[in-house]
Structure 1
Amino acid sequence: MRVYLLIAAIAGGATYLFTPLVRHLAIRFGAVGKVRARDVHTMPTPRMGGVAMMLGFLVSMCIASQLPLTRALFVNSLQPEVIALGAVGVCLLGVLDDRWDLDWMLKLAGQLIIAVFVSWGGLEVVSLPFGSLIAASPSVSMAITAILIVASINAVNFVDGLDGLSSGIVAIGGIAFAIYSYIIARNSPSYASLATMIDVALVGICVGFLLHNWHPAKLFMGDSGSMLLGYLVTCASIVMTGRLDPSTIHASIYLPVFMPILLPILVLFLPVLDMCLAIVRRLAKGQSPMHPDRMHLHHRMLRIGHSVQGAVLILWGWAALIAFGSLSILVLPIHLAAAVFAVAAIVLTVVTMYPYARHRIREIREGDLDAVSTSDDPALPHQPVAQHRADK
């Protein structure tokens, strides 16, 4: 455990130190986002923060390759190198978008190429609880892997709309999944786990960048960052769950992620939900699925009266509830875990809707007062309420 904490600290520290340099480079490179109609910020802010996160991740991987516990992960497999190359590719694609606002179809094509390359390099979902994909067709395995990677990349990209929102949500999901993968690794002869190593590094780069990205942000992660986070969290999920043999794992451990293909959705529930709602909403209007609007979950939170920081904290709370709720049955009986989940969901619902409810109550009271004052005005025509008061 101490080795993983060290990897997370290295990733976070490196990202924190690289971020001011990357901010300077983003300004020189011209990657400064203009204020658009759908944006929440009011001042042009540099983007390209994903470069600092990528550098922090690469530094942590280089250090991990020299540590006694995790050194074997780099010797016995090419997966770490393939994942690192894919991370560089995804980040560079995001840098191009941060600078020149690439067409969405071109960006999607680039994501697919990188996802296929990573899958071809050995990162594949090769089995599901109901059978082996490799036995059926290697192309099926590659297709599912590529779809998962591209979907997660865009899910995090969709939710990246408030300072600190996406980095916090991914960090929460990364912590939850790191705990689960560490529990799985404890059943093996060695505690070394590539999935856990990627997750703790992911949490580290999120926290390191968040220190610069909290509202008001000095630097946005941009597509280079949001796409990188979606890519890494999915790679960690595939590394572990894609090769699990359900028959060799106790049901009490395997139950939280019954289907490996659903694990990225569990740890990234809010981004995936927001992406699905946006796609349905835009297609229903006859628009492109990538057409921008101000109807994302975070926009709705601001519209009902939350501040930027308040909306981010509440959405973090929902992400934590969903991510850790799937882990709670590891330590709690199912009925108790369900009860705790229900109570927490009720509390979060009340907190989420409180500004809207307060505003509606105030409107109702003001409306009642206006009605009373209008009915008491003698210059107005006959009013039933006034007549009723006179009769009494």
Structure 2
Amino acid sequence: MKVYLAVVALTALLSFVLTPMARLLGVRGRVYTPTRKRDMHREPIPKLGGAAMAIAVVISMGLASLVPFLSGIYQSPMRGILVAILIILIMGVADDLWDLHWIVKFAGQILAAGIIAAAGIRVEAMPVGWFHVDNEIAQILITIFVIVLTINAFNFVDGLDGLAAGVAVIGGSAFFLYSYVLTRTINAYDYSNLSTLLTALLIGACIGFLPFNFHPAKIFMGEVGAQLIGLLMATAAVAVTADLGALEGFRFRNVPAYMPILLPLAVMLLPLLDLFMAVLRRTARRSSPFTADRGHIHHKLVDGGYTHRQAVLLLYLWTFVVGFGAVSLTYFAAEIVFTVVGIAMTLLVLLTLRPWIIRRAYYRKLNSMRAARAAQRSTRQSSEPGERRG
């Protein structure tokens, strides 16, 4: 655990140091996020923060390779991840500079995901019924689909200051904890694990970036940051499926077999839900799923009455309850977990709908008062003698 925490701290420090440099480059190069009608900010803000995050991750990957404890991880898969990160970095910076067409960005995402799959990080098994994916082409196609889906999910949710980075820290921490426990349970002598390392890198990069990105943001992560988060999160989730063979041979009580598929879905619930709703909404309007609009969950919360920070913190709470609620299944009885999580989610639903509930009660009271005043006027008019009507 100490080595992984050191990786988190190192990546956070590098990200924290590099982000102001990226901001300075963005200001001098006038690489700003334009103030569009759907955006929440009202003044130009530089958007090269994701480049600082990516460089911090790459440097930490290199330094971590010098640690004997992690040496077994640094083989062909890690080189593939490094190349994929560089593709995301180059393509993201180019998009921040020149606003690439969505087809070009989509092709770059497929290329990065394909390189990771070609390096050997693939969906090998599904824990539902212990269904193994033995066909190599099927493994590659499923892996590309999962990675590209996750990249775009985090890209869609990156709409408020600190939202994507904070969700990644909370969800990544839940995944980090699960992956570490899983590794220790399977192998009591070697705790090194690719998924745990990737989530440690992700958490560190986002922690170092958040002080500059939380509302009011001084810099945005841009395309690089959102796609980097999705790439690392999805790759960590895919890498976990390689442990299912060990799971099958070693049934252990505290880590349920369905967790490898449940936890990634739980951690990425908010981004995936926002992505699904956006695709449905835009398809219904007969427009491209990649067409930007102001219909995301975070937009609805702000438009409903929450402040910028309140909306972000509320979505943090949702991610925490769902992500750590799923992880807690590895430690506590399912009945206890579902009861506690159910109560927490009920309270969260009420908290989320609070502005609309208050507004509805206000208008109901207002309409009642108007109706009462109208009735009083009608009563006074009917009781006045010699009333003239005209």
Tell me the TM-score normalised to structure 2 length: 0.92
> Does the 8 Å contact 2:125/2:244 carry over to 1?
yes
> Does the 8 Å contact 1:125/1:243 carry over to 2?
no
Shift in Å at residue 256 of structure 1?
A: 6.2
In the alignment, what sits opposite 1:389? none
Which of 84, 87, 91 matches 1:86?
A: 84
Which of 97, 100, 122 matches 2:98?
A: 100
- 1:15-46 deviations in Å (ceiling 9; x for gaps): 01100100111223332111011101111111
**Structure 2 unaligned residues grouped into runs of 5+:** 385-390
Q: Distance in 2 between matches of 1:221 and 1:227?
A: 10
Question: Aligned to 2:192, what secondary structure does the other structure show?
Answer: coil
Q: Distance in 2 between matches of 1:140 and 1:263?
A: 22
Shift in Å at residue 259 of structure 1?
A: 5.5
- 1:132-168 deviations in Å (ceiling 9; x for gaps): 32x3x21111000100110000000000000010111
Classify 1:265/1:368 alpha carbon distance in 2 versus 1 (closer, same or farther; 3 Å).
same
Written as runs of structure 1 = structure 2, the 5 A alignment for 1:120-269 is 120-129=118-127, 130-133=130-133, 135=134, 137-187=135-185, 188=187, 189-245=189-245, 246-250=247-251, 252-255=253-256, 257-258=258-259, 260=261, 263-269=263-269
Q: Distance in 1 between matches of 2:380 and 2:148?
A: 65
In the alignment, what sits opposite 1:114? 112
Shift in Å at residue 367 of structure 1?
A: 2.0
Classify 1:256/1:319 alpha carbon distance in 2 versus 1 (closer, same or farther; 3 Å).
farther
In the alignment, what sits opposite 1:390? none
> Does the 8 Å contact 1:274/1:297 carry over to 2?
yes
Aligned length: 379
Amino acid at match of 1:158: F
In the alignment, what sits opposite 2:44? 44
Classify 1:382/1:106 alpha carbon distance in 2 versus 1 (closer, same or farther; 3 Å).
farther
> Does the 8 Å contact 1:48/1:98 carry over to 2?
yes
> Does the 8 Å contact 1:30/1:99 carry over to 2?
no
Shift in Å at residue 366 of structure 1?
A: 2.0
Q: Distance in 1 between matches of 2:93 and 2:224?
A: 5
- 1:168-195 deviations in Å (ceiling 9; x for gaps): 1111111011111101111312011121
Tell me the TM-score normalised to structure 1 length: 0.92
Amino acid at match of 1:22: A
Shift in Å at residue 378 of structure 1?
A: 6.5
Shift in Å at residue 263 of structure 1?
A: 4.5
> Does the 8 Å contact 1:152/1:264 carry over to 2?
no
Written as runs of structure 1 = structure 2, the 5 A alignment for 1:324-335 is 324-335=324-335
What is the root-mean-square deviation in Å for CA atoms of aligned residues? 1.9
Question: Aligned to 1:376, what secondary structure does the other structure show?
Answer: helix
Q: Distance in 2 between matches of 1:362 and 1:110?
A: 50
Structure 1 stretches of at least 4 aligned residues deviating more than 4 Å after TM superposition: 378-383
Q: Distance in 2 between matches of 1:14 and 1:97?
A: 24
Shift in Å at residue 354 of structure 1?
A: 1.5
> Does the 8 Å contact 1:128/1:242 carry over to 2?
no
Shift in Å at residue 293 of structure 1?
A: 1.1
In the alignment, what sits opposite 1:292? 292
Classify 1:382/1:147 alpha carbon distance in 2 versus 1 (closer, same or farther; 3 Å).
farther
In the alignment, what sits opposite 1:71? 71
Classify 1:85/1:288 alpha carbon distance in 2 versus 1 (closer, same or farther; 3 Å).
same
> Does the 8 Å contact 1:174/1:233 carry over to 2?
yes
Shift in Å at residue 258 of structure 1?
A: 4.7
Shift in Å at residue 251 of structure 1?
A: 5.3
